[in-house]
Every structure is written in structure tokens, then in C-alpha cells.
Structure 1
């Protein structure tokens, strides 16, 4: 269901799931959910920061991706949108 859900539906699910039991959603599922939501909302700085923080919580394997997401979000917040596909 997540694969074809809208970003609003994915974000709502993440909010509920992570509030109820922060570790209840497997890491692979939360990474997929955040990725799909970010792909649908590439200019949502708040979502990008949230996704980056979630990645950092699960180890150094994703720190580079998290840093890129934070950088992109910071650029959006500063009004310096980068030309990205």
C-alpha cells in the first residue's frame, strides 16, 4: 500500500506509527516510506530534515545520505533551490 500512497498518506502513517512505538516500524520500512514521501515532495524542507534525522538515528551507513538531505533542506529554507531532477 505504501508504494502507491500519496505523500500525505505516507507522512500521516509515519506520524502515527512513530508516535505509537518509535521502534515498531522496521528500519527498511521506514526508510522506504521516507524515501517515497521525499520523492513526492522534493521541496518540502521539513520532511527532508525529518527523513535525514531518522536516517541518522540508525547508524553511520546512512550518514552521507542524511547530510545530503539536510543540505538540500537548508538550501530550500534559504531560498536557494538547486536544479535537481
Structure 2
């Protein structure tokens, strides 16, 4: 079975890789969502670092949002993760600026409590 990172890359357009995304994008989407659904936070974070290193990766916005959402649900007290999710939402806003601000605020609260 492919890794979560490989499945994420299958969703990314890459002209230099004519086989990506696969000829069946629906299968790539389904496989990615299935793997993401059952991935632990460490696996999700590794995929994020490998596919979205600088906020400009090709992973579709819906996949980025879902990825960060599931990671944040697994680690609600991880200020670094909450900030990363916030930055990603700001980068693709302004529709999600309110959510991004809430994540940043929660991260600040966690930092001040420790």
C-alpha cells in the first residue's frame, strides 16, 4: 500500500510526472481520504512536512484543510500544530481568516499557560 505522502502526491498536479495525478483522480482522492482517515498525527505531520514544506505546495486546498483538521483534532493541545494550521488557512484565505485567528488564539493561550 502507498504511504500517505505518496497518496497526497497523487493529488498534486505535476507536469513533469505525466502519471500524476493518476488517470483516475477519483481513485486517488478516495485512496488519500481513506489513508488520511486512519492515519495517526505523526504520519499526518510527516506528510504535511513532505508535501507542504513552504505553504506553496500543490496539494489541493480541500486536502490541506482536511489534513490539518484531522491532525488538530488528534493534537488539540499542540500549539505548534495549531499555528501551522492557522498559517495555512491565512495563506488560502480570506474565507478562513476567522478560523485561522481562532487557531492562533488557542495556540497563544496554550503557550501562555505553560
Normalised to the residue count of structure 2, the TM-score between the two structures is 0.66
Count the aligned residue pairs: 80
Bigger fraction of residues in helix: 1
Q: TM-score, normalised by structure 1?
A: 0.88
Give the corresponding residue for 1:64: 98
Shift of 1:22: 2.8
Aligned to 1:32: 66
Cα deviation, residue 15, structure 1: 0.3
Unaligned stretches of 5+ in structure 2?
A: 1-34
Cα offset for 1:21? 8.4
Contact 2:79–2:107 (CA under 8 A) maintained in structure 1: yes
- The answer for unaligned runs of 5 or more in structure 1 is 81-85
Partner of 1:70: helix, strand, or coil? helix
Greater Cα shift, 32-41 or 71-80: 71-80
Aligned-pair Cα RMSD in Å = 1.7
1:24 Cα deviation after fit? 1.2
1:12 aligns to 2:8 (yes or no): no
Which structure's CA Rg is the greater one?
2
